[in-house]
Amino acid sequence: MIRIDDPRLSAYALGELPAGATAEVERLLEGDPEAVAVVEDVRAMAGTLAAAFSTEPAVALTESQRAAVVEEAAQPSEARAPMLAIVGTRRREARPWYAWTLAAAAAAAGILVIGGPLQRRVSREETARAQREAEHNARVAEVVGFASADYDVEIAQASDIARLLGTDGSKAQVHEFRSFKLPQGASGPGRIVLESSAPVIAGLRSAPLLNPSSGTFFNNGRDGDLRGRAENVFVGHLGSLDDVTNGLRDRLSVSLASGPVTAGAPVVVRIPRAHTADNDRMSAEAYVAAAESPYLRPTDAPLSTFSIDVDTASYANVRRMITAGIRPPPDAVRLEELVNYFPYAYPAPTGTDPFAVHLETANCPWNLEHRLVRVALKGREIARKERPASNLVFLVDVSGSMDAPAKLPLVKASLRMLVDELNERDTVTIVVYAGASGVALQTTTCEKKDVIREAIDRLTPGGSTNGAAGIELAYQLAAERFVAGGVNRVILATDGDFNVGVTSRDDLLKLIEEKAKSKIFLTTLGYGMGNLKDATLEMLADKGNGTYGYVDTTREAHKLLVEEAGGTLVTIAKDVKVQVEFNPKTVGAYRLVGYDNRLLAAKDFADDTKDAGEIGAGHTVTAFYEVVPAGKPLPKPEVDPLRYQPVVPPAGPAGATSDELLTVKLRWKAPEGDVSTLRELPYTDTGASYEKASTDFRFAASVASFAMVLRGSPHRGTGTYEAVLELATSALGDDPGGWRKEFVEIVGRAKTQFGEPAPLAAKAPPAPPAPPSPPASPPTAPADGPVAPPR
């Protein structure tokens, strides 16, 4: 007998067991038909898998990549750059098995291996050369270019390597490297990193160096911030290639002043790979994954709590990608930001509250058995003349990566537009950050708009990005000019690539959280593709009490900074939270559509220390719940049914006699306040059909449906691009600004380019949709159990 979960069964089935173990298993299989069946199944499955994997389209290298490899192989061996071991010493995982083999081979062939004793080639010329080097440069650091995917790195040329011999251990010694020849066309904002097993002070120099006796070290003014690391490797950031190539064209010279260094201790310099002139590489974009909310039953989870969100960046980003023919990654499609992008004509508040709440229900168009509940907020409008005095600090990223037509020039155009909208009582300060950060324009009132515009025009790109220092400075200046009761805001314009200084996302977020306490709000404006760090920018706005917009065209800039200037500038309420309590008598299950990364715990609702979103003047916020009325069949469970608790909710808890559908509760704080105000609004379903729903309702629903179809959401029901088109075109309404019409175009493009997704029905999975995306993406197959394959 052999247990069917014994891994030897598979190993045996696949012929992977050594002879002795094979015989043992065969013995155990005798008289165990179940186990034998398993073995046969494994073999059958192996065949299926092999066949299945071979149907996946293979990806090949480009012609030029292949050619580069072949060319390198054809070089005579001495000319090839010496090989360095893979990152073995810094790795936390086990060393690759072959590393010791390699070291042994290296000993024979004399190839350099990091982490092991350094070997030299044993050829005669090399010996002679080594001797010459040793004589000539008594103490020079050994620099080995280090190929690692951590930083797109080029390996330094063999001819530029020199060697550091030990020091006497007491005094700081000064050494200069021989300079490296940089790879062709190397440039870019990526930082150059130096690693050493001993503390060193280093800098990039374009000329021979410094004054050893004074101990000062001149490093062309860029940061050389060194930090110790746990594994006794010291890491320093030496600025960027941009910094270096400004002075020297093609040589990188690194100077070291070091403390005690053990003989042969390697010092490693990592040089970022040359960026191509076109910096728009999709690979650098980063999105945050968020799982969609599941259906919940009011008996298990009667409260749904979330933070409002008026960001619109996701729609602009998705629009840009679809227009360029690129399929947006699901995680870039934030449903609520798509819905909230569009202006809706919700009635303005009449009382003293900063916003009005409007609820509406109708049939759910993508799931006719369900109801769709829309919660809408409309913020109080503020006429331009009535806008309180604004103290604005423009914080502009002028690093090298911003040097593209869709970036800095567009930033400048955006800021000029905004300045046009300002009143004479408003003030503008401009802070830039790149390498060093600095004040490009001291605080200037808008009585002198010409001066401001001129300062904007003078902004030029160059240097690496030091976001943290810029943020500090911007907030400091905003605080100095704080206008009580007015608008105090930092407007950050960037592509999100924070390269130097505080680079870890967590550090950056902590910094901004701290700044948020200062009652100065933040608007992040994202520009450009490629380096757009969507996740970082969204988080910054989130933690920093602010909003996030993505600007890809002047038209979008105009929308955000002119048409919606009031909303962008003036916050009328902050930390706005919504909590909905569903009535189990009328609601079988509910699902919050979107707001996936805005969810709050129920207890956070009343907790004023918990941060939430802001609403600006005139802003609208729209949220949908998809509701399964009590008595209707519940959607397929996402989780296996519980064993110990009933799946079907009881008829209704005693005491719940109300026929209300839900109660919406809202909390918010005044922009400079600390205590929240509460409002409650019970609501009963009107039973209205979809056709009777308002135009705004129907259009917003079509956008929500589009987002789900685009993401391939398993909750999209019968939604398709075609269905979305139908819904949207019949709900265009007045369409001020033409944004809805543009939406219809975008949906049409998506449909043509990507094709309709597979229908969500319980049948065998269809062929993958065109254009080919590998079937190994998250499946849109139903969440119910396996379907027996056709036999």
Q: Does 291 bind other proteins (CB under 8 A)?
A: no
Min dist. Cβ of residue 306 to other proteins (A): 23
Q: Please give the Cα distance from 133 to 138 (Å, whole number).
A: 8
3-state secondary structure of 551: strand
β-strands 487-494, 521-527 pairing: parallel
Q: What is the DSSP letter of 165?
A: P
Q: Does 678 bind other proteins (CB under 8 A)?
A: no
CA distance to 425, 482, 569, per residue, from 446 (Å): 7, 16, 15
Near other proteins by CB under 8 A: residue from 22, 86, 323, 562? 86
Q: Which of residues 110-139 bind other proteins (CB under 8 A)?
A: 110-111, 122-123
Q: Does 744 bind other proteins (CB under 8 A)?
A: no
3-state secondary structure of 598: helix
CA distance to 315, 334, 479, 560, 564, per residue, from 418 (Å): 21, 26, 21, 9, 10
Q: Does 686 bind other proteins (CB under 8 A)?
A: no
Near other proteins by CB under 8 A: residue from 208, 485, 655, 790? 790
Min dist. Cβ of residue 590 to other proteins (A): 26
Min dist. Cβ of residue 76 to other proteins (A): 5
Min dist. Cβ of residue 238 to other proteins (A): 18
Strand order through the sheet with 620-629: 355-363, 371-379, 620-629, 587-593
Look at residues 714, 722, 686, 692 and name the one whose alpha carbon lies nearest to residue 593.
Answer: 714
Q: Does 761 bind other proteins (CB under 8 A)?
A: no
Residue number, 29 or 406, with CB nearest to other proteins: 29
Near other proteins by CB under 8 A: residue from 159, 658, 730, 773? 773
Q: Contact at 8 Å (CB) between 56 and 774?
A: yes
Query: What residue has token string 């030496």?
Result: 238
Near other proteins by CB under 8 A: residue from 133, 331, 660, 742? 331
Q: Does 233 bind other proteins (CB under 8 A)?
A: no
Residue number, 56 or 722, with CB nearest to other proteins: 56
Min dist. Cβ of residue 9 to other proteins (A): 6
Sign of CA dihedral 58, 63, 65, 68: positive
Q: Contact at 8 Å (CB) between 711 and 338?
A: no
Q: Does 91 bind other proteins (CB under 8 A)?
A: yes
Min dist. Cβ of residue 505 to other proteins (A): 8
Residue number, 64 or 657, with CB nearest to other proteins: 64
Residue number, 10 or 518, with CB nearest to other proteins: 10
Q: Which of residues 150-179 bind other proteins (CB under 8 A)?
A: 150
Q: Contact at 8 Å (CB) between 147 and 234?
A: no
Residue number, 75 or 262, with CB nearest to other proteins: 75
Token digits of residue 740: 């809805």
Token digits of residue 335: 């449903």
Min dist. Cβ of residue 140 to other proteins (A): 23
Count interface residues toward other proteins (CB under 8 A).
112
Residue number, 66 or 679, with CB nearest to other proteins: 66
Q: Binding mask 52-81 vs other proteins (x if CB under 8 A, - otherwise)? A: xxxxxxxxxxx--xx-xxx-xxxxxx--xx
Distance of CA 152 to the CA centre of its chain: 19
Q: Does 42 bind other proteins (CB under 8 A)?
A: yes
Min dist. Cβ of residue 55 to other proteins (A): 5
Q: Does 781 bind other proteins (CB under 8 A)?
A: yes
Min dist. Cβ of residue 698 to other proteins (A): 30
Near other proteins by CB under 8 A: residue from 132, 181, 229, 281? 281
- Work out the angle at residue 470's Cα, subtended by the Cα atoms of residues 469 and 471, and round it to the nearest 5 degrees: 90
Q: Does 659 bind other proteins (CB under 8 A)?
A: no
Min dist. Cβ of residue 275 to other proteins (A): 13
β-strands 571-582, 200-205 pairing: unpaired
Q: What is the DSSP letter of 160?
A: G
Near other proteins by CB under 8 A: residue from 117, 124, 125, 149? 149
Q: Does 235 bind other proteins (CB under 8 A)?
A: no
Q: Which of residues 697-716 bind other proteins (CB under 8 A)?
A: 712
Q: Does 37 bind other proteins (CB under 8 A)?
A: yes
CA distance to 253, 441, 459, 593, per residue, from 462 (Å): 20, 18, 10, 43
Q: Please give the Cα distance from 208 to 178 (Å, whole number).
A: 10
β-strands 546-551, 521-527 pairing: parallel
Q: Contact at 8 Å (CB) between 711 and 313?
A: no
Near other proteins by CB under 8 A: residue from 26, 100, 105, 300? 105
Token digits of residue 590: 């509910």
Min dist. Cβ of residue 2 to other proteins (A): 5
Stretch that binds other proteins, among 90-98, 205-213, 459-467, 611-619 (CB under 8 A): 90-98
Instruction: Find all residues with CB under 8 Å of 239, minimum gap 6, and list them.
Output: 191, 192, 204, 219, 220, 222, 223, 224, 435, 464, 500
Q: Please give the Cα distance from 518 to 463 (Å, whole number).
A: 29
Near other proteins by CB under 8 A: residue from 484, 639, 761, 788? 788
Stretch that binds other proteins, among 37-45, 431-439, 441-449, 580-588 (CB under 8 A): 37-45
3-state secondary structure of 596: helix
Min dist. Cβ of residue 606 to other proteins (A): 35
Near other proteins by CB under 8 A: residue from 19, 20, 23, 83? 83
Stretch that binds other proteins, among 148-156, 173-181, 426-434, 479-487 (CB under 8 A): 148-156
Q: Which of residues 358-417 bind other proteins (CB under 8 A)?
A: none
The DSSP code sequence of 67-91 is HHHHHHHHS-GGGSPPP---S-TT-
Look at residues 254, 271, 238 and name the one whose alpha carbon lies nearest to residue 140.
Answer: 254
Q: Please give the Cα distance from 383 to 290 (Å, whole number).
A: 37
Residue number, 47 or 166, with CB nearest to other proteins: 47
Q: Which of residues 503-542 bind other proteins (CB under 8 A)?
A: 505
- 311-314 contacts at long range (C-beta below 8 A, 24 or more positions apart): 311/337, 311/340, 311/538, 311/541, 311/547, 311/548, 311/549, 312/337, 312/340, 312/341, 312/549, 312/550, 312/560, 313/337, 313/526, 313/534, 313/537, 313/538, 313/548, 313/549, 313/550, 314/338, 314/534, 314/550
Residue number, 89 or 444, with CB nearest to other proteins: 89
Q: Contact at 8 Å (CB) between 272 and 153?
A: yes
Min dist. Cβ of residue 772 to other proteins (A): 5
Element (H, E) at 201: strand 200-205
β-strands 436-445, 355-363 pairing: unpaired
Stretch that binds other proteins, among 6-14, 338-346, 364-372, 519-527 (CB under 8 A): 6-14
Min dist. Cβ of residue 101 to other proteins (A): 6
Element (H, E) at 257: strand 251-258
Residue number, 122 or 263, with CB nearest to other proteins: 122
Q: Does 327 bind other proteins (CB under 8 A)?
A: yes
What type of residue sits at position 405? P
Stretch that binds other proteins, among 192-200, 282-290, 346-354, 429-437 (CB under 8 A): 282-290
